[in-house]
């Protein structure tokens, strides 16, 4: 599985793919130059339970760290992953 970022203007997504099949996606927007807002996380039903959603949230956290961004998790799933994993809470606004 690989996770690719698609970004255009102030919106974007991180997409998990395997053999050209989309497994899941996190959709975000930029609230400001230094704040990313996770709006929605979706994993294909056939892929649920494999940790794909969690991997997407961790990818966003890594991206935020590298780019000096803070994250607001509006998505309930992403919010729960941040709450359960202290090692990524440093990027939360």
Q: Could you tell me what percent of the chain has a pLDDT over 90?
A: 97
pLDDT tens track for 16-59 = 999 999 999 999 999 999 999 999 999 999 999 999 999 999 99
**Homologous superfamily assigned to 2-91:** Gcn5-related N-acetyltransferase (GNAT) (3.40.630.30)
Q: Please report, to the nearest 10 degrees, the dihedral formed by the alpha carbons of residues 23, 63, 54, 52 taken in order.
A: 20
**Inter-CA distances, 58 with 49, 63, 84, Å:** 16, 9, 12
pTM: 0.95
Domain boundaries, the chain: 2-91
- Say how far residue 62 (Cα) sits from the centre of its chain: 9
Distance CA 41, CA 52 (A): 10
- 35 contacts 70 by C-beta, under 8 angstroms: yes
Angle ∠(38,78,62) on CA atoms, nearest 5:
70
């Amino acid at each position: 599985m690989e996770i690719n970022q698609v970004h255009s203007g102030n919106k974007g997504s991180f997409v998990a793919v395997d053999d050209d099949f989309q497994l899941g996606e996190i959709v975000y927007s930029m609230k400001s130059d230094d704040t990313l807002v996770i709006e929605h996380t979706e994993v294909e039903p056939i892929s649920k339970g494999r940790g794909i959603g969690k991997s997407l949230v961790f990818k966003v956290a890594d991206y935020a760290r590298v780019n000096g961004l803070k994250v607001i998790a509006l998505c309930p799933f992403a919010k729960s992953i941040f709450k359960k994993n202290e090692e990524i809470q440093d990027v939360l606004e």
